[in-house]
Structure 1
């Protein structure tokens, strides 16, 4: 646990608070979490700009799947993502589009419901749980896996086992999980890239898999 917290503290001290997720509303955050699948955030921003007039559940519900697909075209795989958004909306509507209703239910139940929606996998479910519904959840994405591999951790192969490894030892503090994911993303973009940029890396002293 102490090592995980030390790593968090080093990243936080170096990068500062990230204030994630980048969205003006929880609903926009949820839609963005689906749009960002298999694409860059830059492309998502273009799609969200197109969606701006419809970024309320009742408005988005009324447009057709074809119209939605055209609006989100910049995000790629737009026909598939349109269907996923529509499926997500059907689930969200069972709670009357009311996030406060969802927050009253336990995280395990909501996570299982999210995973039952076609196209919502563990990572997408995780970021929605964390950033829209305020459930402390570790996001065991490819960035986290890359960073902790280079730091020498023997991580489980499965997403959920990797996630639970962290959740078993980290304090259940929303801000900690919120910032940890955002900081890992920032670090993976700035220093721990596929080809790492080790000069100035705040975790260089912890890294055991430095490039030769």
Structure 2
């Protein structure tokens, strides 16, 4: 029996932090350049693999400064130049290959409208988290993104463990089928985990401590 429902947890986090409005994109840039903001999300979803978002932002700024933040640019730029631009994101040679592959697949970007999750998972360099992030945030498709923060929070808060698909199903079975809730809950979990539910948790300061199994057991 859950101490509080998943939807109630979402509402508590929303009240505490407000709407996060993920995925962050530079709307002004895309309007001025005539580029597609969905391209930025797809590019960012690859760049954020195995790195902190601050490093992704540096790579995105390099692309905007010296190129164009679009899948068209990713397709046309040389491997060497792209690797230079995205170097701050780490694993830049590997990510260069993945970006090229994904950019060729999403040509045009509207492929997003019909592509299935299983089809995305067949692409080289696209795992479950990346596929769901692209579908949810770029494609506005009703699929929840599970990441390391989600796994950590659910283990501590609910004592629930499982593989990616099990945790994804747990969320999707427990929440209203609402695209905004899916987007915001993922972002809110990440925000809370960065502030309180860290690798070394700050349980005594956390406003969820009275509901969290791990926090209660630690006092």
Tell me if TM exceeds 0.5: yes
**Conserved 8 A contact 2:20-2:187:** yes
In structure 1, distance between residues paired with 2:100 and 2:73: 12
Flag structure 2 segments of 5+ consecutive residues without an equivalent.
Answer: 27-36
Picking from 185, 196, 201, the partner of 1:196 is 201
Structure 2 counterpart of 1:78: 92
**Structure 1 partner of 2:130:** 124
Query: Are 2:143 and 1:137 equivalent residues in the alignment?
Result: yes
Per-residue Cα deviation, 1:167-194 (whole angstroms, up to 9, x for no partner): 1232110000000000000000011101
Which residue of the partner structure matches residue 28 of structure 1?
A: 40
TM-score norm. by structure 2 comes to: 0.87
Offset from partner CA, 1:71-111 (integer Å, 9 cap, x none)? 10111100000000011012101xx222xx532x3xxx521
Distance 2:112 2:135 in 1: 10
Q: State the distance in 2 between where 1:202 and 1:132 align.
A: 32
Match of 1:48 in 2: 60
1:120 positional shift: 0.7
Mapped partners of 2:8, 2:106: distance in 1: 37
Q: CA RMSD in A?
A: 1.6
Q: Deviations over 1:139-184 (max 9, x none)?
A: 121101111111133232x211211121123211000000000000
Gaps in structure 1 of 5+ consecutive residues: none
2:109 is paired with a residue of what secondary structure?
Answer: coil
**Separation in 2 of the partners of 1:124 and 1:97?**
16
